[in-house]
Structure 1
Amino acid sequence: MTDVSNNRLAALSEAGVSIWLDDLSRERLESGNLAALVRDQHVVGVTTNPTIFAAALSKGESYDPQVRELAARGASVDQAVREITTTDVRNACDLFRATWERTEGLDGRVSIEVDPRLAHDTERTVAEALDLWKTVDRPNLMVKIPATVAGLPAITRVLAEGISVNVTLIFSVERYRAVMDAFLAGLEQARANGHDLSQIASVASFFVSRVDTEIDKRIGELGTPEAEALRGEAAIANARLAYVAYEEVFGGQRWRELAQAGARPQRPLWASTGVKDPAYSDTRYVDELVAPAVVNTMPEKTLLAVADHGEITGDTVTGRGEAAQEVFDALTEAGVDFDDVFAVLEREGVEKFEKSWAELLETVTEQLDRTKG
């Protein structure tokens, strides 16, 4: 690792961005790869999702010993998936325990997602979140809950139990405001339930690149010069508007009362930061979203690109809300229906994770069957 790349990642961290890796596998853990990223690349947390686990289970032989043990026990496929995924997450939590202690619980966090098939079922989401928390049994865990309409009350109820939550699949500022409201309500209930608010952490995962992918497609369909001039502008503007909302809510009186009781703010987390369109810089969703007190969770490819040639020039978010709103106003004028965009993105996001979960179940079924012979 060169001094230059270390300097880029150090500059990102010093600007207030916590660098989390958007990936986890048994191979990363056992090979020392994840530990090396923590040591050399300023990585201070990990996020997972069903797609990540489906990919991990389909490659290599790292899971074979555990699969053999599970098969010998007669475990069902659902039991096997639960044990395999929570084992990886528990071990990752242990790896990040020193980071968690050094940052007094701010970072060193590892996220695991509730079954995506429960995205529209509040009661079962709450039950699964509680079970995941107990099963992993590590204080630096975060349970991921989607920001669907059914997910919002689940977020509040899980936080009220003193459990740290990563809210995922947020696409619009309107829904993000509802997520922050659910967070504040959850902390208020947690305080009433006697929990130590300083021990509860939360992030709000605001998805970035998928917004450009969907809106750029619609810009192409509109085919006007006015629309084309805005290609690639939406996602960063959307995230910057989210940060404006974050500053507003966490500068308000309702938050100040919770902060006085020891609470920590729910940090914005930029997710889906790998660039989908090769026409764009592969570091744009990092370079253009530098701000104090945020998380950027990156696939390793993006992390290494930032280390190699990222352009970290300080805060690129604060004070840019007005310009971001102008982008949205121009896109609306050009014919982009944002309500429909965000509805499509949420639906497709849930469907993608459901598909990955089905692939994960299929892979584990095949491995169990093969082991049984």
Structure 2
Amino acid sequence: MGDERRGTDVPGDGSVLRSLAAEGVSVWLAGVGRPELVDGSLRTWVADAYITGVVLSASAMTRELRRHGDHAYLEQLGLLARRRASPEEIVRALSAYDARWACDLLAPVHEAAEGLDGWVCAELDARLADDGPSTLEEVRALALAVNRPNLLVTVAATDAGLDVVRACAAEGIGVYVAPLHSVERYGEVLDAGWEGLERAHRAGRTVRGACVAALDVAAVEAAVDRRLGGPDDSPDAAGLRGRTALALARVAYDLHERGLDSCRWRTLRHAGARPQRLVWSGASRGDDVDSDEPDTGVRHVEEIVAWRTTHLLSPRAVAEAARRARPRGDSLSGEAPAAHDTVAALRRRGIDLGRLGADLDRLRLRQRVRDRAELLDAVRDTPCVREYL
């Protein structure tokens, strides 16, 4: 894994992160892998920097496997290779081990938050995103292998993924739906999760399935700003630049809060369901530290603040936010009308956020498929695995 990330220090002054926590905002760490577990740095981030969740990523594992000489996966990789495990089986085993370790580390946070935080998100094979039955089989296998209450299995926001969300919520398996790039799709994910909880309730089972959704508002804003042109474009376009992320967050949060005020949710709540958080990605590639943009993360940490929300940031972006961010208090509640005005202004300029979000969903899914292929190649290229293939 990149030495640059290992050199990112835990912020010495946690006042910004404390103030976010007081506003009901969590900070999750993106792109976590085995090195941060082995060297204790993740434990330090959780203890000293108010990190309350982590997202494990295929790209982080790939970077570590491609390091020359010793790496954090070497011993387990050698044992699996000697058993002649396939590359796919090796990746599953490495991922489950990391997830168990991280879940145990975050367990005290999960317990203190009464199951509302302290989550660990583990990836599935993105190549299965349009195959609902196979995805569900993989989800069940990973949930069984990890066997921790604070695990969330990452599910793609495809049509097949929505069916998986329903099934997982009904079976009490936590899911992390990511990435999302439109409020329309977020509404469908929210509805799918509730449908699954209702199935559990009707069947007399415990209503406990968690469904957390991540909106990559930064990627949408970046795409919109590219379409608006440069700073010398018309004054109307210039006035819209840098406003999309906050507008999307406000619309999504309004949808989320109105849902929690509905009779449907009250029935689920009385059956034991717990409200889930909205996660905002803090950079265009929240799980990839090499393409992270700390300035973008700082601005969004300042601008997007509301109860039961989470910012997903790389270690570098967390450190920058802790040093420079000045959160402005709740910026989402009651702000949907202004956000709809921004969306309408973009539509008048020919930018349809729903269509753009769907395009970004497909683009990001293709990238995750490539990430998985690169991870499998990295496993195959490891000398101890080549010896037994």
1:57 to 46, 65, 78: 65
1:110 to 102, 110, 120: 120
How far off is 1:326 after superposition?
1.1
Once residues 100 and 244 of structure 1 are traced to their aligned partners in structure 2, the CA distance between those partners, rounded to angstroms, is 26
Partner of 1:164: 174
Secondary structure of the equivalent of 2:31?
coil
Partner of 1:207: 216
- The answer on 1:186 being equivalent to 2:196 is yes
How far off is 1:225 after superposition?
3.6
Partner of 2:3: none
Q: Deviations over 1:341-364 (max 9, x none)?
A: 112101101001001001100001
Q: 1:56 to 1:315 in 2, by over 3 A?
A: farther
Q: Deviations over 1:35-60 (max 9, x none)?
A: 00011000111112333333343346
8 Å contact kept, 2:294–2:320? no
Q: 1:194 to 1:272 in 2, by over 3 A?
A: farther
Partner of 1:31: 39
One-letter amino acid matched to 2:96: T
Partner of 2:381: 366
Once residues 173 and 387 of structure 2 are traced to their aligned partners in structure 1, the CA distance between those partners, rounded to angstroms, is 38
One-letter amino acid matched to 2:172: G
How far off is 1:274 after superposition?
6.0
What is the aligned-residue identity percentage? 36
One-letter amino acid matched to 1:124: S
How far off is 1:311 after superposition?
0.7
Once residues 349 and 280 of structure 1 are traced to their aligned partners in structure 2, the CA distance between those partners, rounded to angstroms, is 22
Secondary structure of the equivalent of 1:166?
strand
Aligned pairs (5 A) from 1:40-51: 40-51=48-59
One-letter amino acid matched to 2:205: H
Once residues 54 and 151 of structure 1 are traced to their aligned partners in structure 2, the CA distance between those partners, rounded to angstroms, is 25
How far off is 1:289 after superposition?
1.1
- The answer on 1:176 being equivalent to 2:186 is yes
Which ranges of structure 1 fall in alignment gaps of 5 or more residues?
Answer: none
User: Larger deviation: 45-54 or 216-225?
Assistant: 216-225
How far off is 1:131 after superposition?
0.9
Partner of 2:329: 314
CA RMSD of aligned residues (A): 2.2
Once residues 57 and 359 of structure 1 are traced to their aligned partners in structure 2, the CA distance between those partners, rounded to angstroms, is 11
User: Larger deviation: 227-236 or 301-310?
Assistant: 227-236
Q: Deviations over 1:297-332 (max 9, x none)?
A: 211111111111111232121122111111111111
Q: Deviations over 1:209-254 (max 9, x none)?
A: 1111211111128954422321111122111110011011111110
8 Å contact kept, 1:58–1:363? yes
Aligned pairs (5 A) from 1:5-154: 5-59=13-67, 61-154=71-164
Once residues 142 and 170 of structure 1 are traced to their aligned partners in structure 2, the CA distance between those partners, rounded to angstroms, is 16
One-letter amino acid matched to 2:159: V
